């Protein structure tokens, strides 16, 4: 080897290492910018559903109710369970280089976040499909965003979801409030009957769900755009939440609680579930941002 080549060997090593470090840095930056933007929003949806898990309970037979299905011997059937995706109920397709989540609804269950969240602003877009399944063939298309989810799936009335609060996703009912399982909250409303109220910021505050009344309050007004993508936002801070549909606030919930055994606990964090509930629905642009304070335009709803 010439003295010239010997002299330049360290330089070659330096160049190779520099190029390698550059590509590692670029790869890291691309990864970070693909999940978090400059405003603090974190993307929750990718083509591999890497931030989500799946749970399936049952195909409810024709003429059945919410009871656990039984076999020919009258024995209760076990749920399909976690990490299974029969009938490809949950799928992600890339549309214009953007992941779009499809939930067919054929089997009851959910897709839920691996991570728990507290004090956040969630936003996404949803659009209805056309397929319906028993027991909702003759009812509006249905799904839901279940937040502050606690415990195991299958703890609710339909044996499909975790204990949670619900921002209803239903035809004609975007933004309604439900208590799912052993949860509750307080809502200001005008009462229609002893089982239902309509959200009214100037109405009477009543406790809903566990240790209260029925767990359902209808949204203030219908702002759904039929046949189009609808923007849904959920703001949670402390034990309060706001449901927002296409820029309009339609529900405010406070004093959220969860009954753990015989103990009633404040509910202010948990996983997020998207329901599979006998109706086809699509979701995209699912993003979340941590909050250190309530956005100014909504602070009045958190001062109650």
**Dihedral pair phi/psi, residue 57, rounded to 5°:** -100, -80
pLDDT of residue 197: 92
- Specify the pTM: 0.86
CATH number at residue 76: 2.60.120.560
- Taking only the tens place, the pLDDT of each residue in 158-210 is 999 999 999 999 999 999 999 999 999 999 999 877 678 999 999 999 999 99
Q: What contacts 243, CB < 8 A, 6 or more positions away?
A: 167, 175, 176, 177, 219, 232, 233, 234, 249, 250, 251, 252, 253
Q: Are residues 171 and 126 in the same domain?
A: yes
Q: Classify strands 279-290 and 98-103 as parallel, antiparallel or unpaired.
A: antiparallel
Is 173 within 8 Å of 219 (Cβ atoms)? yes
Q: Are residues 158 and 224 in the same domain?
A: yes
Q: Of the candidates 84, 122, 86, which has an alpha carbon nearest to the alpha carbon of residue 105?
A: 86
Pair 27, 59 in one domain: no
Pick from 144, 92, 100: nearest CA to 277? 144
Q: Residues 58, 113: one domain?
A: yes
Structure-token pair, residue 211: 């240790």
Radius of gyration of the CA atoms of the chain, in A:
23
Same domain, 198 and 234: yes
pLDDT in the model for residue 65: 81
> What is the pLDDT at residue 35?
53
The bridge status of strand 42-43 relative to strand 279-290 is: antiparallel
Identify whether residues 119 and 260 lie together within a single domain.
yes
Same domain, 234 and 88: yes
The answer on 133 and 13 residing in a single domain is: no
Q: How many domains are there within the chain?
A: 2
Same domain, 153 and 71: yes
- What pLDDT sits at residue 209? 94
Domain assignment of residue 18, given as a range:
1-35
Query: Are residue 280 and residue 166 in the same domain, yes or no?
Result: yes
Same domain, 113 and 252: yes
The span from the CA of 75 to the CA of 88, in Å, is 27
Peptide bond into 161 cis (omega under 30): no
Question: Is the Cα dihedral 88, 279, 161, 240 positive or negative?
Answer: positive
Return the pLDDT at 253: 97
Query: What's the pLDDT at 18?
Result: 54
HEC string of the chain equals CCHHHHHHHHHHHHHHHHHHHHHHHHHHHHHHHHHECCCCCEECCCCCCCCEEEEECCCCCCCCCCCCCECCCCCECCCCEECCCHHHCEEEEEECCEEEEEECCCCCEEEEECCCEECEEEEEEEEEEEEECCCCCCCCCEEEEEEEEECCCCCCCCCCCCEEEEEEEECCCCCCEEEECCEEEEEEEEEEECCEEEECCCCEEEEEECCCECCEEECCCCCCCCCCCEEEEEEEECCEEEEEECCEEEEEEEEEEEEECCEEEECCEEEEEEEECCEEEEEEEEEEEECCCCCHHHHHHHCC
pLDDT tens per residue across all 304 residues of the chain: 544 344 445 545 445 455 555 444 444 444 444 455 568 999 999 999 999 999 999 998 877 788 899 999 999 999 999 999 999 999 999 999 999 999 999 999 999 999 999 999 999 999 999 999 999 999 999 999 999 999 999 999 999 999 999 999 999 999 999 999 999 999 999 987 767 899 999 999 999 999 788 889 999 999 999 999 999 999 999 999 999 999 999 999 999 999 999 999 999 999 999 999 999 999 999 999 999 998 899 888 877 6
pLDDT at 50: 98
* Together in a domain, 67 and 17: no
Rounded CA gap, 162 and 238, in Å?
20
């Amino acid at each position: 080897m010439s003295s010239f080549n010997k002299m330049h060997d360290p330089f070659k090593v330096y160049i190779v290492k520099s190029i390698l470090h550059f590509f590692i840095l670029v790869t890291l930056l691309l990864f970070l910018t693909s999940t978090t933007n400059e405003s603090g929003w974190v993307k929750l949806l990718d083509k591999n559903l890497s931030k989500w898990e799946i749970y399936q309970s049952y195909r409810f037979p024709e003429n059945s109710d919410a009871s656990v299905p039984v076999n020919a011997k009258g024995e209760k059937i076990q749920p399909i369970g976690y990490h299974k995706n029969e009938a490809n109920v949950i799928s992600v397709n890339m549309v214009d280089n953007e992941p779009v989540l499809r939930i067919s609804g054929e089997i009851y269950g959910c897709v839920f976040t691996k991570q728990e969240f507290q004090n956040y602003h969630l936003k996404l877009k949803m659009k209805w499909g056309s397929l319906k399944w028993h027991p909702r063939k003759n009812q509006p298309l249905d799904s839901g965003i279940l937040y502050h989810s606690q415990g195991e799936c299958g703890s609710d009335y339909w044996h499909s979801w975790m204990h949670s609060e619900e921002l209803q996703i239903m035809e004609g009912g975007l933004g309604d409030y439900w208590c799912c399982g052993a949860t509750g909250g307080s809502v200001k409303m005008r009462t229609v009957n002893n089982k239902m109220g309509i959200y009214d910021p100037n109405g009477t505050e009543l406790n809903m769900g566990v240790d209260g009344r029925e767990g359902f309050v209808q949204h203030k007004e219908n702002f759904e755009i039929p046949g189009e993508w609808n923007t849904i936002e959920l703001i949670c801070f402390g034990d309060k939440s706001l449901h927002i549909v296409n820029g309009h606030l339609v529900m405010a919930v406070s004093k959220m609680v969860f009954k753990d055994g015989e103990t009633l606990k404040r509910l202010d964090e948990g996983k997020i579930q998207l329901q599979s509930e006998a109706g086809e629905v699509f979701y995209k642009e699912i993003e979340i941002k941590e909050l250190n304070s309530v956005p100014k335009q909504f602070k009045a709803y958190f001062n109650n």
